[in-house]
Structure 1
Amino acid sequence: MSKYTAARGGRGGASDGTRLRRTRVSFAVLAALGMTLAGSVHAQSLEAQAATGAAAPTESTVINLINLLVKQGVLTKANASSLIAQAQAEAAQAKVASNSRAAAPAAAVVNAPTQPGDVAVPYVPQVVRDQIRDQVKQEVVAQAKAENWAQPNTFPDWVSRIKIDGDVRVRDEYHFYSPNNANDFTNFAAINQGGGFDINPNTNHTNLPTINSTENRNNLARYRARLGVTATLSDEFTAGIQLASGNDNGPVSTTATAGGGFAKKDIWLNKVYIRYQPTAWLNITAGRFDNPFFSSDLLFSNDLEMDGLAANFRHALPANPDVTLFGTLGIFPIQYTSDSFPSNSIQKSGNDTKWMLGAQVGAQWKINEQNRLKGALAYYDFQNMRGSLSSPCALYLGATSCSTDNEAPAFIQGGNTMIALRNIAQNPNLAPGMTPEPQLFGLAFNYRLFDVKAQWDTVVANRVKLRLDGEYVRNLAYNEDKAFSAASLPVNNYDSSSANVSQSDFKSGPNGFMAKATIGEPEPKHRGDWNFTIAYKYLQPDATLDAFTDPDFHLGGTNAKGYILGAAYAVARDTWLSARYLSAREVYGAPLSIDVLQLELNARF
């Protein structure tokens, strides 16, 4: 029996393995034929339905093919029955789908075949194509966002929270001095920075340090560069830093002068702050930051950064949103006393930190689309600024400082009334009047400023913008009687000697004001923007601290009055040319007339 079976398998029968292989092949052939027939049936169905409306062929072709494979011995009846049942089921599903498509508008066939070999292309309506496109786009974009790929113009999260800004300015500057100027103006800043100057003419035959007042300075090539980074840490917190150029660490200017044998220039830390904004109408800033007050350069230079803590609020009135109230409170340390002063004494001085306390309240009113009015009242209290005469100081015994040396201001531009700080004891071993007197100088007055600032923006003839600015300041702490009753008599800012000054000869004052008109864009930004400005300033010697005023008008400080003319034109976006002519002279004292011309190219980013 086994041989017979083997012989049958060898001649015409099929073993289980062979039958299995044939079954696999038949399924593959059937699948290929089914796909071909399905494509043919689908194409014929589309053509027939489009041309004649006839029904699609039934599944009989597939069933006949299966029966043929059974007769060939490729399929068993059991497998064939299973395939036929599957074909019938798929045919039923296809019929249901065909009926559904028939219910919808049939796709038209563009350029129906007219010759053998032509292919019929069904027309897909635009609305269907739009739906397919939108669906595919949504799926692709969703996947791209989920997997963080193929997103144009995207960066890591921290990049979106960082903002970089800055500006560059190059300037050609000219200083013109009147030939009628006096030439003996004492440079008190140089005296203090040098640790004192012997003012006794019997022991020191050199002249006091003086400022230049007669020799012009032409073609001073100057520049300013600032680069800042601001980081948004959260919805409430922001941090920022800024680096800036500058000739020195003075507070009022970041302008540097070219030259110096092409030596590299200094870069300073100009800003460093953290800002907290708990609500939309309040922010609190700590560190070193821009002047938070609404003011002009009558009091504070435009480049001045303030160290300390400030809180700003700004809120529109609920009853009238066109009126916005604003205000600022701040505390700012100006100068600390060294914690080891005096350095060569076991008895140390107390804490005489110099502070500025500032408070301002104001309102902004949008009158209409062409008129806006803004005004504010401010009070600035500079504490511990006034100097005093020291206790007797025996420098001849080896002392290197006196008890009030720390009251000398850290920075002076010129104009404020000064007093001598050292009460130098005479050396009994020397002839009278032969003891050296290396003197330091401090401020003769305190400064408590009341300030009023107003600004009106309007449009002239419905075409040209016009801005009017005005400011008035008064030093409420100014008191001549108190100054002359002190142990150390005041020295006029224009007097080159430290000799006694009588009150009848003394001239100073606590008042200052500024008026300014700007025609055109106040801040040129777009190509073609322009403006013209004209301003007048008047600042008596002790109206405010000379340390923080504009360093260009009268080359800084107080005791100055005069006018300013300016023009600017934007040659490209955020790039503009400007020119300013500042003409100023003294309010009181010996003649000192200084004119300044500045030609600039500015850019910001």
Structure 2
Amino acid sequence: MIQKMVLRGGGQHGGGQSMRRTRISFAVLAALGMALTTGVHAQSLETQAAMGTAAPTESTVINLINLLVKRGVLTQQNANDLVSQAQAEAAQAKAAAARPAVPVVANAPTQPGDVAVPYVPQVVRDQIRDQVKQEVVAQAKAENWAQPNTFPDWVSRIKIDGDMRIRDEFHFFSPRNVTGLTDFAQINRNGGFDFNPNTNNALPPTLNTTQDRSNLFSVRARLGVTAQITDNLQTGIQLASGNDDDPVSTTQLLGGGFDKKDIWLNKAYVKYSPTSWVSITAGRFDNPFFSSDLLFDPDLEFDGFAANFSHALPAAPDITLFGTLGAFPVQYSDDNFPSNSIDKAGSDTKWLFAGQFGAEWKINEQNRLKGAIAYYDFQNSRGELSSPCALFLGATSCSTDNDAPANMQKGNTVIALRNIVQDPNATPGGTPDTQLFGLAYNYRLFDAKLEWDTKLMDRYKLRLDGEFVRNLSYDANKAFQATSTPVNNFNNANSSGTTVTQADYRSGGNGFMFKATLGEPDTYEKGQWNFSIAYKYLQPDAVLDAFTDSDFHLGGTNAKGYVLGAQYAVARDAWLSARYLSAREVYGPPLSIDVLQLELNARF
């Protein structure tokens, strides 16, 4: 008597993948089932022959089992077990032969799609299962339906990220502010300005210091792609919005007649990590140093090379040492300078060489301390007075025009770069004085930063930040001993309207910052929040004004004041924020600027 099992068909549930697997299983099961059924019948004949009731015959099932052993499908032990089982079933069949045969089907089909399969011994079923599993998995991998929610390998190595910020901004100026402050950055962008009142009656470009600005509606959009080339090699690019190629802002002011907005290449880098604790990055990338906006605006990207390391001490795993070394070309000289001469100037690159070393100490579950010292050397940043320059003869440039910084905000002390020769054929004082401006100092910065994370009442996170910076190259005496007299950072005349002398001159090379943040420093999960308060003090020549915070005092140096901020996450990776920045001058005539920013931020 041959028992049968019922396998229920999948109907239309499961799709093409389920049908493929069912066809493979049924084919193998049916073939072996038919062979075993025939084999059992043949074995019963052999048994009858042994008893003298039938002639001897060759057992088909034994031949099949022997063939499977030779092919390596079955072991000899499994084959012996099958033969013993077949003989036992043959004996049962002989005993049942005396009774009327009544076909019995276990679990007969009762639904459309049910299939009756002859009974197969367990050992054979195990072999079938393993074989079918291998075949199905191989086919599934080949056709990419083994894991339908995955993608090709290259997709798993690509990461896309981005963020969006919508901002409403207000600028508030004190009515007591000084007017007529010269915009030296705009003068350099325009290619110079003639300061001789005998040849030019126009005023030089000046800064707005008294007229408020309301509802400056803007956006910031950034989209990046990171590719993991190998386990230790990564590359990435990022596009970002921005009014222009200003290095410290990716904010795009809306309006302008609904014109389309510009997109800039914000990052492009390759990162190599030979070990888990060392990485080398080249190209244009995020600030690699542990620092605050006292020195560098949060949107500032670095061009060049940086090597970072971070490694826990073997004897004290709660202490991690870290550091950064970097070389960054800040500004190249013009390849074709001077453009109207066959004799070209040699290469003169302004570099930033920097190094930082620090440690992070996880004191316990509630306290973490992180600190570092750094040295930033902005080489060749100081401008020099040119050789005698006869612009009246048709020259379009002077020998040190390349010393004019590519980017400036406001605050640093500057000097006039051109030594203009008077036209002997013009009336006295009748030669145009078209000037460009360079920096009066080099900037070699010593910086120290400390950050402490703790908890109040075992519940509220608190972060305390402090930073101090000193320009080691600041020396007012040396500046006034130079060929070109410094122009005061706030104007080129004192309160009496005369040229600034060293006695009138006020500047300095120090800066510091304190900040306290209550709550989550980063509000990325719904319901997270923080409040912060900071105080900043930055003397005119403490740092390069080109790269510092573009929001505090509307950019630059020679500023002191406080910043109040609050953030609340309205959803995961989406948060509202508000900041109020109140700043005034450190030295010079009054210049108070308050800024209010209301923002909606989202990232992905």
Instruction: Report the TM-score range of the alignment, normalised by the length of the smaller protein.
Output: 0.7 to 0.9
Cα distance change of structure 1 residues 486 and 97 upon mapping to structure 2, 3 Å threshold: same
Cα distance change of structure 1 residues 154 and 487 upon mapping to structure 2, 3 Å threshold: same
* Corresponding residue number in structure 2 for 1:299: 295
Q: Where does 1:414-563 land on structure 2 (aligned, <5 Å)?
A: 414-497=410-493, 500-563=499-562
Q: Where does 1:337-416 land on structure 2 (aligned, <5 Å)?
A: 337-416=333-412
Stretches of structure 1 lacking an aligned partner (at least 5 in a row):
1-33, 43-56, 68-79, 103-115
* Corresponding residue number in structure 2 for 1:48: none
Contact 2:578 2:597 in 1 (8 A): yes
Contact 2:277 2:310 in 1 (8 A): yes
* Corresponding residue number in structure 2 for 1:96: 84
Quick one: which amino acid aligns to residue 338 of structure 1? D
Once residues 568 and 140 of structure 1 are traced to their aligned partners in structure 2, the CA distance between those partners, rounded to angstroms, is 56
* Corresponding residue number in structure 2 for 1:196: 192
Contact 2:371 2:451 in 1 (8 A): yes
User: Structure 1 residue 462: deviation in Å?
Assistant: 1.1
User: Structure 1 residue 142: deviation in Å?
Assistant: 3.3
User: Structure 1 residue 497: deviation in Å?
Assistant: 4.5
Contact 1:62 1:87 in 2 (8 A): no
Pick the aligned partner of 1:86 from 47, 56, 59: 59
Cα distance change of structure 1 residues 96 and 212 upon mapping to structure 2, 3 Å threshold: same
* Corresponding residue number in structure 2 for 1:142: 137
Once residues 167 and 513 of structure 1 are traced to their aligned partners in structure 2, the CA distance between those partners, rounded to angstroms, is 30
User: Structure 1 residue 236: deviation in Å?
Assistant: 2.2
Cα distance change of structure 1 residues 330 and 40 upon mapping to structure 2, 3 Å threshold: closer
Q: Where does 1:173-252 land on structure 2 (aligned, <5 Å)?
A: 173-252=169-248
Q: CA RMSD in A?
A: 3.1
User: Structure 1 residue 154: deviation in Å?
Assistant: 2.2
* Corresponding residue number in structure 1 for 2:93: none
Contact 2:46 2:55 in 1 (8 A): no
SS of equivalent to 1:546? coil
User: Structure 1 residue 444: deviation in Å?
Assistant: 0.6
Contact 1:59 1:87 in 2 (8 A): no
Contact 2:39 2:60 in 1 (8 A): no
SS of equivalent to 1:321? strand
Structure 1 stretch displaced more, 140-149 or 497-506? 140-149
Stretches of structure 2 lacking an aligned partner (at least 5 in a row):
1-32, 66-79, 91-101, 109-118
Cα distance change of structure 1 residues 235 and 35 upon mapping to structure 2, 3 Å threshold: closer
Quick one: which amino acid aligns to residue 343 of structure 1? S
Quick one: which amino acid aligns to residue 85 of structure 2? A
Cα distance change of structure 1 residues 37 and 430 upon mapping to structure 2, 3 Å threshold: closer
Quick one: which amino acid aligns to residue 58 of structure 2? A
Contact 2:534 2:564 in 1 (8 A): yes
Contact 2:40 2:61 in 1 (8 A): no
Once residues 36 and 314 of structure 1 are traced to their aligned partners in structure 2, the CA distance between those partners, rounded to angstroms, is 68
Structure 1 stretch displaced more, 275-284 or 150-159? 150-159
Cα distance change of structure 1 residues 101 and 460 upon mapping to structure 2, 3 Å threshold: farther
SS of equivalent to 2:363? strand
User: Structure 1 residue 437: deviation in Å?
Assistant: 0.5
Quick one: which amino acid aligns to residue 589 of structure 1? G
Quick one: which amino acid aligns to residue 380 of structure 2? N
Quick one: which amino acid aligns to residue 462 of structure 1? D
SS of equivalent to 2:425? coil
* Corresponding residue number in structure 1 for 2:70: none
Quick one: which amino acid aligns to residue 435 of structure 2? Q
Once residues 241 and 149 of structure 2 are traced to their aligned partners in structure 1, the CA distance between those partners, rounded to angstroms, is 33
Once residues 318 and 423 of structure 1 are traced to their aligned partners in structure 2, the CA distance between those partners, rounded to angstroms, is 61
User: Structure 1 residue 386: deviation in Å?
Assistant: 0.6
Once residues 391 and 253 of structure 1 are traced to their aligned partners in structure 2, the CA distance between those partners, rounded to angstroms, is 36
- Deviation digits for residues 25-44 of structure 1, max 9, x if unmatched? xxxxxxxxx979959989xx
Once residues 373 and 137 of structure 1 are traced to their aligned partners in structure 2, the CA distance between those partners, rounded to angstroms, is 59
Pick the aligned partner of 1:59 from 30, 37, 45: 45
Once residues 443 and 335 of structure 1 are traced to their aligned partners in structure 2, the CA distance between those partners, rounded to angstroms, is 14
User: Structure 1 residue 339: deviation in Å?
Assistant: 2.0
User: Structure 1 residue 85: deviation in Å?
Assistant: 3.5
Once residues 252 and 572 of structure 2 are traced to their aligned partners in structure 1, the CA distance between those partners, rounded to angstroms, is 25
Once residues 58 and 185 of structure 2 are traced to their aligned partners in structure 1, the CA distance between those partners, rounded to angstroms, is 108
- Deviation digits for residues 302-326 of structure 1, max 9, x if unmatched? 0000101111111111111111111
Pick the aligned partner of 2:251 from 235, 250, 255: 255
SS of equivalent to 2:134? helix
SS of equivalent to 1:412? coil
* Corresponding residue number in structure 1 for 2:578: 579
* Corresponding residue number in structure 1 for 2:11: none
Pick the aligned partner of 1:285 from 251, 267, 281: 281
Once residues 406 and 37 of structure 2 are traced to their aligned partners in structure 1, the CA distance between those partners, rounded to angstroms, is 96
Aligned length: 528
* Corresponding residue number in structure 1 for 2:601: 602
1:271 aligns with 2:267: yes
TM-score by length of 1: 0.81
Identity over aligned pairs, percent:
64
Contact 1:422 1:439 in 2 (8 A): yes
Once residues 141 and 588 of structure 1 are traced to their aligned partners in structure 2, the CA distance between those partners, rounded to angstroms, is 79
Contact 1:59 1:88 in 2 (8 A): no
Once residues 61 and 226 of structure 2 are traced to their aligned partners in structure 1, the CA distance between those partners, rounded to angstroms, is 72
SS of equivalent to 1:249? coil
User: Structure 1 residue 350: deviation in Å?
Assistant: 2.3
SS of equivalent to 2:230? coil
Once residues 81 and 225 of structure 2 are traced to their aligned partners in structure 1, the CA distance between those partners, rounded to angstroms, is 66
Cα distance change of structure 1 residues 139 and 201 upon mapping to structure 2, 3 Å threshold: same
- Deviation digits for residues 101-140 of structure 1, max 9, x if unmatched? 99xxxxxxxxxxxxx9975459x9xx99x98998589536
- Deviation digits for residues 42-75 of structure 1, max 9, x if unmatched? 9xxxxxxxxxxxxxx94389889xx9xxxxxxxx
SS of equivalent to 2:320? strand
Cα distance change of structure 1 residues 373 and 58 upon mapping to structure 2, 3 Å threshold: same
Of structures 1 and 2, the larger Rg is shown by 1
User: Structure 1 residue 184: deviation in Å?
Assistant: 1.2
Cα distance change of structure 1 residues 231 and 94 upon mapping to structure 2, 3 Å threshold: closer
Contact 2:441 2:474 in 1 (8 A): yes
Once residues 555 and 101 of structure 1 are traced to their aligned partners in structure 2, the CA distance between those partners, rounded to angstroms, is 95
Cα distance change of structure 1 residues 345 and 320 upon mapping to structure 2, 3 Å threshold: same
